[in-house]
């Protein structure tokens, strides 16, 4: 028996970015920062930020792209997946992502000028890829490795993600 489940609560590091596969399936990506405070061996408080790349498919991805914005606090639940692809120079690249099956806004009230995240009695939406191109069809061969040559999570300090918009161009569509 095995289990691949990840649950995080954090803040969006940038606005969600939505695209469509050639078959018309919506896929939305965004980053979430989680924080951890701890005491170092000298007794001083330290803060550590961990960044997660999140991928949301289908209708849920469309709702996320429409309603969530940079800075919003969210709960994300899903599985961890490492993909590999070749960049334009022919180098093998890897990235580790949280493939979400549940995203819930934890915002208490609407921010000025923004529409509220839809509510379905539980305040969340669950979903799956339901017929979307499989990860193998998308060239996302899970490699079992835990490292990430680019775009994975970075830790330390309170700096933002080091990835840019081009980092999301690794999807094969």
Confidence of residue 30 (pLDDT cuts 50, 70, 90): very high
Average pLDDT over residues 35-63: 96
CA distance linking residue 96 with residue 167, whole number of Å: 12
Q: Is 111's pLDDT higher than 80? A: no
Check residue 5 and report its DSSP letter: -
pLDDT at 75: 97
CA distance linking residue 73 with residue 78, whole number of Å: 17
Q: Is 8's pLDDT higher than 90? A: yes
Q: Where is pLDDT greater, at 5 or 125?
A: 5
Q: How many residues does the chain have?
A: 173
Q: Where is pLDDT greater, at 2 or 139?
A: 2
Q: Is 132's pLDDT higher than 90? A: no
* Nearest Cα residue to 96 out of 54, 64, 133: 54
């Amino acid at each position: 028996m095995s289990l691949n489940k990840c649950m995080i609560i954090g803040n969006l590091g940038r606005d969600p970015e939505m695209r469509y596969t050639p078959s018309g399936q919506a896929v939305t990506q965004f980053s979430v920062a989680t924080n951890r405070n701890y005491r170092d061996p000298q007794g001083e408080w330290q803060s550590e930020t961990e960044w997660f790349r999140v991928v949301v498919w289908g209708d849920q991805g469309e709702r996320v792209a429409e309603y969530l914005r940079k800075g919003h606090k969210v709960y994300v639940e899903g599985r961890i997946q490492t993909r590999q692809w070749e960049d334009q120079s022919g180098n093998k690249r890897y990235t580790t992502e949280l493939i979400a099956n549940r995203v819930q806004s934890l915002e208490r009230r609407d921010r000025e000028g923004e529409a509220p995240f839809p509510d379905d009695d539980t305040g969340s939406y669950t979903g799956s890829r339901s017929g979307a191109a499989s990860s193998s069809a998308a060239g996302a061969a899970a490699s079992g490795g835990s490292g990430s040559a680019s775009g994975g999570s970075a830790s330390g300090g309170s700096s933002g993600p080091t990835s840019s918009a081009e980092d999301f161009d690794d999807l094969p569509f």
